[in-house]
Structure 1
Amino acid sequence: MNTVVSADGTAIAYSKVGQGPAVILVDGAMCYRAMGPAEPLAKLLADSYTVYTYDRRGRGDSGDTAPYAVEREVEDLDALIKEAGGGVFLYGISSGAVLACDAAARLGGIRKLAVYEPPFVVDGTHAPRPDDYLDKMDAMIAQDRRGDAVTTFMKTVGVPGFVVAIMKLTPNFKKLKGVAHTLPYDFRVLGDTGRGQPLNAARWAGAQLPALVMDGGKSPQYMRNGAKALSQALPGADYRTLPGQTHLLKPEAVAPVLKEFFV
């Protein structure tokens, strides 16, 4: 296992495959190297790039130094960028897309930024997240109600109740509960982007680099609207829809797009 030490002393576990320019993949909520889309995508990119996948803090083999702050996750990426030699391409999905945008706005060493479907609510096409949502999530974790936190999150992102009930009977649900304590981290990364209001473009004004914002042609309209809004908020960003895709993006659908963009 490879590790890099972040600015606050936290060990961040990572893997790398392939050969060529460096690409760092940033996962969304509850995903990490052993569970999620990053590893399959890395294999598809490895013929053209050196691809870094990592466990965001609190997940997998990475540490989790308290107290949490979004700035610490940006520092984790900074350490990885330096480990990769700088001049990296950065790709993030879902809440990882938002973290990747924050990193691009604050850090050097990033050549291009690509993101897929940040889970924003920017208009009336979806109910805004309740003001007390994060407080309730914090309380569930503090009370060790990890299963409740996972099911609450699943319902929030639109997973049907019967699907959630089935998931609770699968071995993967235990893995999800194992990283449930990081759900509040993701909602802190999202910040105030779930209010049903326009984005604050000033948050990413420092991201002066080529960027690509993608969504799926079969994704909910609110997510597509959020992606379009981000493409307008990021300086110099292009917007692209991947036909037939949903928020559960297939690695085979995005790999060729990234290869086309990361040149």
Structure 2
Amino acid sequence: MQTVTSADGTSIAFEQHGEGPPLVLLHGGSSPQYWQPIVPLFAEDYTVIIPHRRGVGESGDADEYSLDRGVEDVRAVIDAADGTPVLFGHSFGGLLAIETARTTSVKKVIAYEPAVLVGEYREHADLAAQMQERINDGERREAMKFYISEVMHGGEIDDLDGWLAEWPPWPDIVDLTENVARINRAIEQYRLPDSLEIDAPVLLLTGTEGPPHLRDGIRAVDAALSDSRCTEFEGVGHGGPTEAPDRVIATVGAFINEKETPVPEGCN
């Protein structure tokens, strides 16, 4: 484990695996271990760098949090990397990747269902407040279950407890409840600009079974970018990089190496 110091003095930890050009993997509401199943698929060709979001894993923390602070943390890790990196983010990590690339030199950006809220859904979004209400009532587990239902399933799932029983991060992810509530505050405060200026190609990924509000968001991000392509995976949900790692990694690898993508483009 290595560490860097972010702009506000907070220590940010990051893992490093393999050798080659730097590839930075940014996790979402789960822990850095989210990426563990796919690291071996990348580590033969890249130096895989996995930052621990502040307040998670081995990273330090501070009283205040914002999206800008998260970008500063990612930038500190990039500054420590040997070479210009590719950024690959999932969910909130996808939003961090996009926002970091607006102000930092990167080779390419990949974002799987970045946590961007648009339209009427954004105007009424109160996931953070509803999580906090449950936390204040001492119901941390219920707060996390509410979050998972909304973000993984669009609020519609018949047997959440049965699904959670088969989901590897459960119940350890309950330890991240307060951290997840605060990143959702940052997500709800973010407003997608009409134009996203990124001086690097961007690949946006989604699954046909992903939550509708994030699929709306990814189409809006695609429209705001001048150099992007959008690919969707049939039958895959919000956990795409670990649900269908071979398909996702094949598409990501082709994009990084500027080969033809092995699946049809377009996000319907």
TM-score, normalising length: structure 2? 0.82
Gaps of 5+ in 2: 258-268
- Structure 1 partner of 2:28: 28
User: Are 2:16 and 1:16 aligned?
Assistant: yes
Give runs of aligned pairs for residues 132-147 of structure 1, distance below 5 A. 132-142=126-136, 144-147=138-141
User: Are 2:262 and 1:259 aligned?
Assistant: no
State whether residues 22 and 85 of structure 2, in contact with CA within 8 Å, keep that contact through their aligned partners in structure 1. Answer: yes
* Residues 1:64 and 1:144: Cα distance change in structure 2 (over 3 Å): farther
Q: Distance in 1 between matches of 2:249 and 2:142?
A: 34
* Residues 1:18 and 1:169: Cα distance change in structure 2 (over 3 Å): closer
- Structure 1 partner of 2:228: 237
Q: CA deviation at 1:252?
A: 1.8
Higher relative contact order (CA 8 A, sep 6+): 1
Q: Percent identity?
A: 29
Matched residues, number = 251
Q: CA deviation at 1:223?
A: 3.2
Q: Distance in 1 between matches of 2:236 and 2:166?
A: 27
Output one character per residue of 1:10-42: Cα deviation in whole Å (capped at 9) or x when no partner: 22221111111100001111x2223x2x12222
User: Are 2:105 and 1:109 aligned?
Assistant: yes
* Residues 1:54 and 1:144: Cα distance change in structure 2 (over 3 Å): farther
Q: CA deviation at 1:9?
A: 1.9
Q: Distance in 1 between matches of 2:234 and 2:131?
A: 34
- Structure 2 partner of 1:152: 146
Output one character per residue of 1:134-154: Cα deviation in whole Å (capped at 9) or x when no partner: 333334445553212202212
- Structure 2 partner of 1:217: 208
- Structure 2 partner of 1:73: 70
* Residues 1:130 and 1:164: Cα distance change in structure 2 (over 3 Å): farther
User: Are 2:200 and 1:201 aligned?
Assistant: no
Instruction: Report the 3-state secondary structure (helix = DSSP H, G, I; strand = E; otherwise coil) of the residue aligned with 2:124.
Output: coil
Q: Distance in 2 between matches of 1:245 and 1:170?
A: 15
Instruction: Report the 3-state secondary structure (helix = DSSP H, G, I; strand = E; otherwise coil) of the residue aligned with 2:107.
Output: strand
Output one character per residue of 1:106-144: Cα deviation in whole Å (capped at 9) or x when no partner: 2x23111111112445457xx557354433333444555
Given candidates 44, 48, 57, the residue that maps to 1:47 is 44
* Residues 1:49 and 1:105: Cα distance change in structure 2 (over 3 Å): same
Gaps of 5+ in 1: none
* Residues 1:129 and 1:153: Cα distance change in structure 2 (over 3 Å): farther
The CA RMSD measured in Å over matched residues stands at 2.6
Q: Distance in 2 between matches of 1:75 and 1:193?
A: 16
Instruction: Report the 3-state secondary structure (helix = DSSP H, G, I; strand = E; otherwise coil) of the residue aligned with 2:32.
Output: coil
State whether residues 128 and 182 of structure 2, in contact with CA within 8 Å, keep that contact through their aligned partners in structure 1. Answer: no
Instruction: Report the 3-state secondary structure (helix = DSSP H, G, I; strand = E; otherwise coil) of the residue aligned with 2:88.
Output: strand
Q: Distance in 2 between matches of 1:142 and 1:211?
A: 40
Q: Distance in 1 between matches of 2:69 and 2:140?
A: 23
* Residues 1:248 and 1:132: Cα distance change in structure 2 (over 3 Å): closer
State whether residues 155 and 161 of structure 1, in contact with CA within 8 Å, keep that contact through their aligned partners in structure 2. Answer: no
* Residues 1:138 and 1:129: Cα distance change in structure 2 (over 3 Å): farther
Q: CA deviation at 1:51?
A: 0.6
